Amino acid sequence: QHSYSFKSYRCALVCLLPLLKECNSELLSSVLPFQGAGQDVGRSCILVSIGGKNIMLDCGMHMGYNDDRRFPDFSYITQNGRLTDFLDCLIISHFHLDHCGALPYMSEMVGYDGPIYMTHPTKAICPILLEDFRKITVDKKGETNFFTSQMIKDCMKKVIPLNLHQTVQVDDELEIKAYYAGHVLGAAMVHIKVGSESVVYTGDYNMTPDRHLGAAWIDKCRPDILISESTYATTIRDSKRCRERDFLKKVHESIERGGKVLIPVFALGRAQELCILLETFWERMNLKAPIYFSTGLTEKANHYYKLFITWTNQKIRKTFVQRNMFEFKHIKAFDRSYADNPGPMVVFATPGMLHAGQSLQIFKKWAGNEKNMVIMPGYCVQGTIGHKILNGQRKLEMEGRAQNGPLLDVKLQVEYMSFSAHADAKGIMQLIRMAEPRNMLLVHGEAVKMEFLKGKIEQEFSIDCYMPANGETTTVTTNPSVPVDISLNLLKREMALGGPLPDPKKPRTMHGTLIMKENSLKLVSSEQALKELGLNEHQLRFTCHVQLQDPHSDADTLHRIYTHLKSVLKGYTIQHLPDGTVIVESIVIKVSSSAEDSNTKVLLLSWSYQVIIEPLLKKSFLYPAVLANPPLKSDVISSFWVQTLLQFPDSNKHCGITES
């Protein structure tokens, strides 16, 4: 039997297409330095192909553009076909608009009816943010060609909620599992698995716990590829403590000089964190100035925190058991009449970007006094009052007033503080240590240089690290183990041949026939393969003609060969048959004279495939090179060919023979 080792490389083709047409460096430079920590600028939209499945990760919107460029370019995926036919599923990591802002556009305007996955909190909060943004874009800025409220609702109907650590079977082969990512309420990392191949996508994540959220965590799941955000990959973050200290210092300074402090917040997340912070500080410093929060905020926040308490950190969970999230000693509910009260106060009000509602009303009232202060604890989208004042604008046109009407003079102090929670270089290294991926892939919003980080990851973990640019495809070769069934008979026969006992950790050569049929592989004996495939057994016989010079008659030449072989091949059966043939084991040798020259003798050698000819031919100066190269084709038993080189002692001529 011929032996051959079986090796297979299947490629998990992962194409990564951050799908936006242009990167956002232009935006950043125009806004710098005020947006230096402009977290959440840019967008995320990644396409992964794994084991024949196409998965889209996030569907973000670029906040820096007002035209079609803000949405991903879906023509990268398919030129004319429907998205639903091409994509197996879409997964949204968290509710920030740069990760979910293009969702209604994709599902309702471009057209996608396949499954959309996101966690419960993301599903609850995402439509609120989308609606907020729609209002700013359509109602305030008067843009058309944008998704409608109904589209947001229809889109959310297609969403399938995910629980943490719950394995969801998208179809028979594709399964996904969500892990806690910190960052914001409901943020998740996803583990995507097809067969033995897997990918982890982090979305935005945070490896250090804060006052209301825990740290990201993942199993040692050893994915083939870990796709990580790298917004802060070249950053060493200032400590949380210093951020908080500066926040308290600013609030305190303003209160001390008798000013009022407005903190526009989104109902969830940072608002709770800042409330906890101020409450503790007021208690410690024994301050008397009132702190208010707008009532809509409490109801909404309490509602969500009750729903999603498991997504916060341990301390909050404990606190919440004892009392209401907003039962603070120093923080009380706000009434709109309080805004005119004399003396210092602190007010938390929604919305966070000063584009409407209570926060904007209070801002208008307080903007004229330089003793007052507004603290913006997060990023503001273009077109909002928040964005304008963060860019240093001091005169604002207010709507609802006549054209060329009086401008609102912004005299109050404007403070921009970033409390965003992203993983920095250290956090990325921590996550790699946790998940132990085989390859690392960093997706970045800006065209930043990260060669050093790439080198660091490759050195420390001995894995490859990739950083594809927008629209660039990265292909990672995986080496998955392919299970093959072996018949018991074949296994027994192998064992009978002796040798060491099978060890699962050591490769071992097996002899048999590999049958690939209907996506399954099995190794059987050749007799069984013939039987199963209904084929007849064929005998292969190899022949070869060798010319040599010999003046004797044909019979004498044959006899001389017989005597020679007899002397060199001791212990083998060698017969000289009366019909003019010499047989060595099963090799048949005949001699005939050449038609042109009687001195030239032609030797005919013939042997069957089964004969172990090598030692025989070697000893008799017939040296063979036996090559086997079985091409693998579905439903076909491999064919073999053998090439033999022969050399006689008194002939320098070589001749090749092939199977007839």
Partner 1 sequence: GGLTFTFDCSAQNHVTSKLSFTVFYVKLYTEIHKPFSFRYKDLHVYQLEHPTQVLEWTSGNSVCVAGYSQSKNEILELRLPLKLLADENKSLCAERDFKVSHGGFTDGPVRCLTHIPGTRCAVTNDGLSSDLQVWDLGGEESDVIRRTGSIKGKRSASERGSRIAARPSSAPQVLHGAQISDVQLTELASGETLYKLETDSADPLSSLQFVSDTVFLAGCCNGSVYVADTRTSAPPQLSHSPSSAESVIWWTDAAAGPHPSSRRVIRVSSSGQAVVSDLRNLGGAGCQAQLDVQTPGRCSQVKVSWAPTLDDCISVSGFSGVVQIYNTRLWGAEPQEARPLFEHRGHAVSSQQTDDSVPTFVTSHIWHPERPRTLLSAASDGSVHVWDWVDPNRQGGSPTP
Q: Which residues are catalytic?
A: 229
Buried b (16+ CB within 10 A) or exposed e, 143-182: eeeebeeebbeebbeebeebebeeebebeeebbbbbbbbb
- CB 128, min distance to partner 1, A: 24
Query: Which neighbouring-strand residues pair with 50?
Result: 53
Whole-number Å distance between alpha carbons of 473 and 495: 47
Q: Angle formed by the axes of helices 149-157 and 120-134, to 10°?
A: 160
Are the beta carbons of 176 and 190 closer than 8 angstroms? yes
User: Which of the ranges 86-94, 408-416, 568-576, 602-610 carries the binding residues for partner 1, by CB under 8 A?
Assistant: 408-416
Strand order in the sheet with 188-194: 167-169, 174-180, 188-194, 197-201, 225-229, 439-443, 464-466
- Is residue 33 part of the contact set for partner 1 (CB under 8 A)? yes
- Is residue 281 part of the contact set for partner 1 (CB under 8 A)? yes
- Closer to partner 1 by CB, 52 or 455: give it: 455
Using omega within 30 degrees of 0 as the cis cutoff, is the peptide bond preceding 33 cis?
yes
- Is residue 429 part of the contact set for partner 1 (CB under 8 A)? yes
Closest CA to 109 of 70, 140, 136, 135: 70
- Closer to partner 1 by CB, 457 or 544: give it: 457
Query: Which neighbouring-strand residues pair with 11?
Result: 477
Binding residue (CB under 8 A) for partner 1 from 248, 278, 574, 584: 248
- Closer to partner 1 by CB, 250 or 365: give it: 250
- Is residue 232 part of the contact set for partner 1 (CB under 8 A)? yes
Using omega within 30 degrees of 0 as the cis cutoff, is the peptide bond preceding 351 cis?
yes
- Closer to partner 1 by CB, 247 or 607: give it: 247
Query: Which neighbouring-strand residues pair with 644?
Result: 657
Distances (CA, A) of 302 to 188, 307, 481: 22, 8, 50
- Closer to partner 1 by CB, 234 or 487: give it: 234
- Is residue 235 part of the contact set for partner 1 (CB under 8 A)? yes
- Is residue 234 part of the contact set for partner 1 (CB under 8 A)? yes
Which 450-479 residues touch partner 1, going by CB under 8 A?
Answer: 450-453, 455-456, 459
Are the beta carbons of 439 and 224 closer than 8 angstroms? yes
- Closer to partner 1 by CB, 30 or 639: give it: 30
- Is residue 415 part of the contact set for partner 1 (CB under 8 A)? yes
User: What does R_g of the chain's alpha carbons equal in angstroms?
Assistant: 38
User: Which of the ranges 214-222, 443-451, 601-609, 645-653 carries the binding residues for partner 1, by CB under 8 A?
Assistant: 443-451
- Closer to partner 1 by CB, 96 or 191: give it: 96
User: Which of the ranges 56-64, 338-346, 423-431, 639-647 carries the binding residues for partner 1, by CB under 8 A?
Assistant: 423-431
Whole-number Å distance between alpha carbons of 507 and 504: 8
- CB 236, min distance to partner 1, A: 4
Binding residue (CB under 8 A) for partner 1 from 196, 361, 369, 413: 413
Q: Which two tokens stand for residue 56?
A: 């889209």
Whole-number Å distance between alpha carbons of 262 and 349: 7
- Is residue 256 part of the contact set for partner 1 (CB under 8 A)? yes
- Closer to partner 1 by CB, 92 or 277: give it: 277
- Is residue 434 part of the contact set for partner 1 (CB under 8 A)? no
User: Which of the ranges 60-68, 147-155, 160-168, 384-392 carries the binding residues for partner 1, by CB under 8 A?
Assistant: 384-392
- CB 232, min distance to partner 1, A: 7
- Is residue 236 part of the contact set for partner 1 (CB under 8 A)? yes
- Closer to partner 1 by CB, 231 or 644: give it: 231
Whole-number Å distance between alpha carbons of 160 and 91: 10
With CB under 8 A as the rule, give the number of residues binding partner 1.
46
Whole-number Å distance between alpha carbons of 42 and 69: 11
- 11 Cβ partners below 8 Å, 6+ apart? 475, 476, 477, 478
- CB 398, min distance to partner 1, A: 21
Q: What is the helix (H) or strand (E) element at residue 249, kind and residue range?
A: helix 240-256
Which 307-366 residues touch partner 1, going by CB under 8 A?
Answer: none
- Is residue 242 part of the contact set for partner 1 (CB under 8 A)? yes
Binding residue (CB under 8 A) for partner 1 from 10, 243, 365, 564: 243
- CB 346, min distance to partner 1, A: 15
- Is residue 282 part of the contact set for partner 1 (CB under 8 A)? no
- CB 248, min distance to partner 1, A: 5
72: buried, middle or exposed (CB in 10 Å: 19+, 13-18, 0-12)?
Answer: buried
- 458 Cβ partners below 8 Å, 6+ apart? 464, 465
- CB 253, min distance to partner 1, A: 8
User: Which of the ranges 168-176, 232-240, 336-344, 478-486 carries the binding residues for partner 1, by CB under 8 A?
Assistant: 232-240
Binding residue (CB under 8 A) for partner 1 from 449, 508, 517, 531: 449
Query: Which neighbouring-strand residues pair with 636?
Result: 633
Binding residue (CB under 8 A) for partner 1 from 139, 171, 253, 299: 253
Whole-number Å distance between alpha carbons of 187 and 82: 29
User: Which of the ranges 111-119, 220-228, 238-246, 589-597 carries the binding residues for partner 1, by CB under 8 A?
Assistant: 238-246
Q: Which two tokens stand for residue 135?
A: 């209002």
- Closer to partner 1 by CB, 384 or 620: give it: 384
- Is residue 416 part of the contact set for partner 1 (CB under 8 A)? yes
- Closer to partner 1 by CB, 92 or 429: give it: 429
How many CB atoms sit inside 10 A of residue 341's CB?
A: 12
Binding residue (CB under 8 A) for partner 1 from 285, 333, 495, 627: 285
- 567 Cβ partners below 8 Å, 6+ apart? none
- CB 468, min distance to partner 1, A: 18
Q: Which residues would be at the binding site for partner 1 (CB under 8 A)?
A: 33-34, 36-38, 232, 234-239, 241-243, 245, 248-250, 252-253, 256, 281, 284-285, 390-392, 413-418, 424-426, 429, 449-453, 455-456, 459
